[in-house]
Structure 1
Amino acid sequence: MSKQFQFKLVLLGESAVGKSSLVLRFVKDQFDDYRESTIGAAFLTQTVTLDDQTIVKFEIWDTAGQERYKSLAPMYYRNANCAVVVYDITQASSLDKARTWIRELQRQADPSIVIALCGNKTDLTARRQITQEEAKKYADEEGLMWFETSAKTGEGVSEVFTAIAKKLPLSAPSSRTSAARGTAAARQGVDLNRQTTTQGSNEACNC
């Protein structure tokens, strides 16, 4: 019988870097050129199948990038098992903002959190301002996973979440049940064996 584990994942980054588009591509394999900015945060779920015996379910919190919502961010990354910090390869300032988010995670999030740095919009490579070498060097120095993606074309998107799933500790005690969801998953994840897999749910949270 396959085992399913549940983890909390948060997306952080400057406004308009494509966080919501990345999630939409991952969850529904869709892209919308005219997505409105996220208000507060949006909540979605999706699963990754690692092998015949292991399924990882992500509870995804897609946070707003606007400065006025920054004070809400700790509410979403607190007790998160993993984080994707997104920057726009065509906007040099967005990597600086990503560095700020990573420093905040390193100071305030769970010490065991898995962090991925993700450069989005590779479909606009002609307008690139942030080189792969610069971003990867920073990621290596900070011990982060590093990826480049295009939410528009889908390039690299599933690879980000699959790689994160593979790095998470799938060692939750078998005694854990669905009642232990949420913050109880902070360090080891929740074993959702015998739970029904939910894919692609999308609820707005205008907190």
Structure 2
Amino acid sequence: MAPPVVSALAKYKLVFLGDQAVGKTAIITRFMYDKFDDTYQATIGIDFLSKTMYLEDRTVRLQLWDTAGQERFRSLIPSYIRDSSVAVIVYDVTDRQSFLNTSKWIEEVNTQRGGDVLIFLVGNKTDLVDKRKVSTDEGEAKAQEHRAMFIETSAKAGFNIKPLFRKIAGSLPGLDALSSAKQEEMVDINLRPSTGSSTSGAAAQADQKSGGCAC
């Protein structure tokens, strides 16, 4: 008897881009583990995580690449954009410069991938209502200008994190839009740092800040 046919698991690479401390790592951590760390620690190089999503009629694996926002790591980023399916560009709604800089990140994505990539513009830290410097309308306008999807989130409060990833999953090439994917259908399967992101403890300590907000 012939062995049963096992269909290959569809894999999609998501690269997270944006300035330092806008909350890229916090968004991923909230999605993966439903938790938030008040202590900010800068990402060193590139970190890799993966998660399987069980949708209504298929299963996909999202490969999440968390990039450092610091200028000294900028040269590493183009190589991670080149084979990505989705670019998630994050800014801090309390930091106007991080919002203005999204134009540069979008330009970098277009340079490396042209139109062959989905772009999501994400305004993070909406819980800091009194400190907001970028309106929702401005975010939506920039997303429309660059033909990107738009959503606002708060990793600290857990606001719109899973809807963000459901929206991404529903927009992936070859997938129909999700209408009723449930949060319970998302299961963590793996966590490991990429080989390119390992550093000595001293180097990691040098890049660590205490008391900052990664929300």
List runs of 5+ in structure 1 lacking aligned partners.
Answer: 172-196
- TM-score scaled by length of structure 1: 0.82
From 148, 154, 157, the counterpart of 2:152: 148
- Residue 2 (structure 1) shift: 8.5
Aligned 8 A contact 1:80 1:110 in 2: no
Given the alignment of the two structures, is residue 61 of structure 1 paired with residue 52 of structure 2, yes or no?
no
Residue 138 (structure 1) aligns with:
142
Computed over aligned residues only, the root mean square deviation of the Cα atoms, in angstroms, reads 1.9
Aligned 8 A contact 2:121 2:150 in 1: yes
SS for the counterpart of 2:73 is: helix
Relative distance call for 1:134 and 1:198 in structure 2 (3 A) is closer
- Residue 104 (structure 1) shift: 1.1
Measure, in 2, the Cα distance between the counterparts of 1:16 and 1:106: 23
From 190, 193, 214, the counterpart of 1:203: 193
SS for the counterpart of 1:169 is: coil
Deviates further, 95-104 or 82-91: 95-104
Aligned 8 A contact 1:18 1:151 in 2: yes
Aligned 8 A contact 1:50 1:162 in 2: no
Given the alignment of the two structures, is residue 49 of structure 1 paired with residue 54 of structure 2, yes or no?
yes
Residue 94 (structure 2) aligns with:
90
Residue 184 (structure 1) aligns with:
none
Residue identity matched to 2:197:
N
Residue 25 (structure 1) aligns with:
30
Aligned 8 A contact 1:10 1:77 in 2: yes
SS for the counterpart of 2:66 is: strand
Residue identity matched to 2:18:
G
Identical pairs, percent: 40
Relative distance call for 1:202 and 1:152 in structure 2 (3 A) is farther
Measure, in 2, the Cα distance between the counterparts of 1:113 and 1:97: 19
Measure, in 2, the Cα distance between the counterparts of 1:49 and 1:117: 24
List runs of 5+ in structure 2 lacking aligned partners.
Answer: 1-5, 176-186, 199-215
Aligned 8 A contact 1:27 1:200 in 2: no
CA offsets 1:24-71 (integer angstroms, 9 cap, x no match): 0011111101131000011001122331x2122111110000011111
- Which runs of structure 1 show a deviation greater than 6 angstroms over 4 or more consecutive aligned residues? none
Aligned 8 A contact 2:153 2:161 in 1: yes
From 90, 106, 112, the counterpart of 1:102: 106
Measure, in 2, the Cα distance between the counterparts of 1:55 and 1:2: 10
Residue 161 (structure 2) aligns with:
157
- TM-score scaled by length of structure 2: 0.79
CA offsets 1:110-147 (integer angstroms, 9 cap, x no match): 53201100000011021100000011011012110000
Equivalent residues in 2 for 1:113-124, closer than 5 Å: 113-124=117-128
Aligned residues: 181
Measure, in 2, the Cα distance between the counterparts of 1:86 and 1:67: 16
From 6, 10, 18, the counterpart of 1:5: 10
SS for the counterpart of 2:84 is: coil
